[in-house]
């Protein structure tokens, strides 16, 4: 348990960031929330945030820790170092937890820029989805200095069910997350292929789903995402385009390592095809829509 109530700012109040911010509030941490979505700001204000705002600049000096839960490295760089970047306004020694999925090279470059402002960085991607974020039990795969871990311990206690300390070198956490996303993307793509084949064979998808989730072929991703297919609900919890991005990160990492990833490459082609067909903003389970000649619940035939 923490002995001090460190003030924490959370930038990016989407499904993961909102859950993390609310978990910090429940843990008794003075919590500030930042997002361009007024609805998200209002929701966090009602949840007990100390303050909310579109920009973190005016409140930056009040923060001991800053957590970024945005989509990619480009957004992180814009938020920290752009024309309206917050990094110059944070007090020296402030710990910045970067929880976006990005390459190791991007993480290292961000740390180098943070060092110019005497700011600490924890390379700390997260996993678990909206439900685990809301419950404060995300999995965090983190690398960074002992000082960064110590400064962010109250936040990690609040938001995580499991924290993996990968090492002290920035970029290691990012690499572990990229490898994790290889599995996540392949599992969704494989689940979609199996359910599409069941549809083609005339097997009721609800029955196929029930069989798999009670047998050895199940995975967390199959159980979670293929339920969306059964329900015919492609409301985006994690979009197709997210896996286009993440599986491209897998491909870039594999290229740097001179390592073959044939299954990840196939999954990337499937998600890219789905995005190209106009499903990029739909839930990532919509990758199943690339298969022709099948009837899916809730999907009208063209």
N- to C-terminal Cα distance for the chain? Answer: 56
Q: How far is CA 42 from CA 59, 164, 199, 287, in A?
A: 17, 33, 43, 33
Token reading at 184 = 């996540």
Report the distance separating Cα 14 and Cα 76, nearest Å. 15
Token reading at 156 = 């990690």
The closest alpha carbon to 21, from 165, 130, 127, 149, belongs to 130
**Residue 146 CB partners (closer than 8 Å, separation 6+):** 168
Report the distance separating Cα 25 and Cα 29, nearest Å. 5
Provide the 3-class DSSP secondary structure of residue 140.
strand
Report the distance separating Cα 266 and Cα 127, nearest Å. 23
Report the distance separating Cα 26 and Cα 28, nearest Å. 5
Token reading at 100 = 């976006």
- The catalytic site residues sit at 177
């Amino acid at each position: 348990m923490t002995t001090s109530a460190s003030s924490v700012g959370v930038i990016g109040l989407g499904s993961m960031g909102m859950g993390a911010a609310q978990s910090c509030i429940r843990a008794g941490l003075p919590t500030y929330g930042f997002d361009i979505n007024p609805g998200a700001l209002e929701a966090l204000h009602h949840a007990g945030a100390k303050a909310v705002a579109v920009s973190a600049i005016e409140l930056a000096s009040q923060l001991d820790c800053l957590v970024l839960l945005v989509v990619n490295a480009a957004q992180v760089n814009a938020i920290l170092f752009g024309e309206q970047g917050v990094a110059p306004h944070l007090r020296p020694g402030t710990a910045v937890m970067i929880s976006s999925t990005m390459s190791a090279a991007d993480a290292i470059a961000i740390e180098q820029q943070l060092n110019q402002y005497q700011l600490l960085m924890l390379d700390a991607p997260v996993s678990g989805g909206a439900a685990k974020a809301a419950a404060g039990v995300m999995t965090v795969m983190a690398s960074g200095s002992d000082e960064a871990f110590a400064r962010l311990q109250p936040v990690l206690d609040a938001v995580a069910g499991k924290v993996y300390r990968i090492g002290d070198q920035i970029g290691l956490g990012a690499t572990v997350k990229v490898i994790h996303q290889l599995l996540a993307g392949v599992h969704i793509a494989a689940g979609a292929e199996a359910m599409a084949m069941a549809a083609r064979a005339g097997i009721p998808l609800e029955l196929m789903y029930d069989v798999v989730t009670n047998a050895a072929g199940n995975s967390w991703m199959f159980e979670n995402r293929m339920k969306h297919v059964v329900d015919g609900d492609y409301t985006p919890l994690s979009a197709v385009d997210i896996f286009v991005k993440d599986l491209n990160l897998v491909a870039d990492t594999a290229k740097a390592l001179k390592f073959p990833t044939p299954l990840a490459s196939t999954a990337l082609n499937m998600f890219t095809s789905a995005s190209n067909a106009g499903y990029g903003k739909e839930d990532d389970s919509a990758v199943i829509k690339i298969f022709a000649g099948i009837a899916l619940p809730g999907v009208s035939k063209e």
